[in-house]
Structure 1
Amino acid sequence: MIFFKTGKFWIIPLFNHLPQITKGTRGPKGKWRTSRTTALAKINVNRNHIGSNIKKSPQDRKPVISVKRSGSNIYGNEVEILGPCKIVYNPDHPLDCGARLWIETFSDIHFIS
């Protein structure tokens, strides 16, 4: 493994988002925590609600965005993702709700009112 220093910072190569561990002859065995402290959030846009909202007045419209995290659903019309995210299209393995396209993130999500 090659480490190098740029200014005050050490650059450490990553493999699968973790530092590579080489087996040493002395000292404790290397280990890394791989679990995340926050739950994965899946953001889904409900196209059925979009279609049904066309003929409704603004106060009667249903929210079209749902955020699923840790078994709970939060609904709204506008969200802000505060960090990295990934857009997933998987028609062969849809979510339990039937969505084939969704956004995944471990970042904080804020609904905008």
Structure 2
Amino acid sequence: MIGSKIFNIIDIRNKYYNDLVMTTEVRTTEAAFLLNISTGRLRILLQQNRVVGAYKFERFWMIPLNSRGVPEITSGRRGPQGTWNKAERTGNTFVHVLRKTIDYNRDNKTSHPAIAVKVGGKKDYCHALKINGPCQIVYQPHQPNNSQAGGARLWIEVEPQHIVERIYFSDGDYGPPPEVTQQRQKKKEKSKKSSQKKCLRKSKKKS
């Protein structure tokens, strides 16, 4: 009896995702979720006619799924290769709040995105989130999550079958938040200094 109950719970959790993947067409929100990109980015791809087989039905975009259960995106003529998801989602979504960005926005009257969303190796930033399904809040005061939540000790974790819709302020600031930019700059400076030290050591050895 216990075993059957466990399987029933798993079936219920996976039902929505399986139904989503088994359908032949989805709308914009579901397609963005499957691709692990924002709806805004997907709309740009739709405007560029890069979503294979997409068409408008009344006011809504209808987007077909390929054999892997995700929308097919054609490569662009210029720029780097797209980082959207090309296969079925398997990893959990990790969400954490950027406290320093909240303080920065308050002090500087800005509206940088203060929510970090990570799926696999890809991280994105947004102003708000809509989680369509259950999730859990994890708190590890002495074990920060460095691998998935940017060193956060408190984060939200969502299983892959549940849609996490990213929302952006129409009048908000975009791009990486200030604290992320600062962290990247520090890493660059640190690597630059270490490379300079290595060069000095090599030159000393030669002399």
What TM-score bracket applies, with the shorter chain setting the length? 0.5 to 0.7
Task: Choose from 51, 71, 78 the match for 2:103.
Answer: 51
Aligned residues: 86
Find the counterpart in structure 1 of residue 167 from structure 2: 112
Q: Which of the pair is proportionally richer in strand?
A: 1
1:79–1:18: structure 2 CA closer, same or farther, 3 Å change rule?
A: closer
Residue 37 of structure 1, CA deviation: 4.7
What percentage of residue pairs aligned between the two structures are identical?
36
Structure-1 residue corresponding to 2:6: 14
Which one of 103, 115, 136 corresponds to residue 86 of structure 1?
136
**Aligned equivalents of 1:73 and 1:93: distance in 2?**
21
User: CA offsets, 1:29-74, max 9 Å, x none?
Assistant: xxxxxxx95310110001010011112234xx32100001111101
Q: Tell me, in whole angstroms, the C-alpha distance in 1 between the residues paired with 2:142 and 2:90.
A: 27
Give SS of 1:99's match.
coil
SS class of match (1:14): helix
- Identify if the C-alpha distance between structure 1 residues 82 and 18 changes in structure 2 by more than 3 Å, giving closer, same or farther: closer
Alpha-carbon spacing, 1:65–1:18, altered in 2? closer, same or farther (3 Å): closer
Q: Partner of 1:27 in structure 2?
A: none
Could you tell me how far apart the structure 2 residues matched to 1:18 and 1:56 are?
A: 47
Q: Tell me the TM-score normalised to structure 2 length.
A: 0.37
Question: Which residues of structure 1 form unaligned runs of 5+?
Answer: 3-11, 20-35
Sort the Cα spacing of 1:37 and 1:54 in 2 relative to 1 into closer, same or farther, 3 A: closer
Unpaired segments ≥5 residues, structure 2: 12-87, 169-207
Indicate how the Cα distance of structure 1 residues 101 and 112 shifts in structure 2: closer, same or farther if over 3 A, else same.
same
Shift of 1:14: 1.8
User: What SS does structure 1 have at the residue aligned with 2:107?
Assistant: coil
Give distance in 2, aligned partners of 1:65 and 1:37: 21
Structural mapping, 1:65-104, within 5 Å: 65-96=115-146, 97-104=150-157
Instruction: Give the TM-score, by structure 1 length.
Output: 0.65
Amino acid at match of 2:95: I
**The structure with more helix, counted as a fraction of residues:** 2
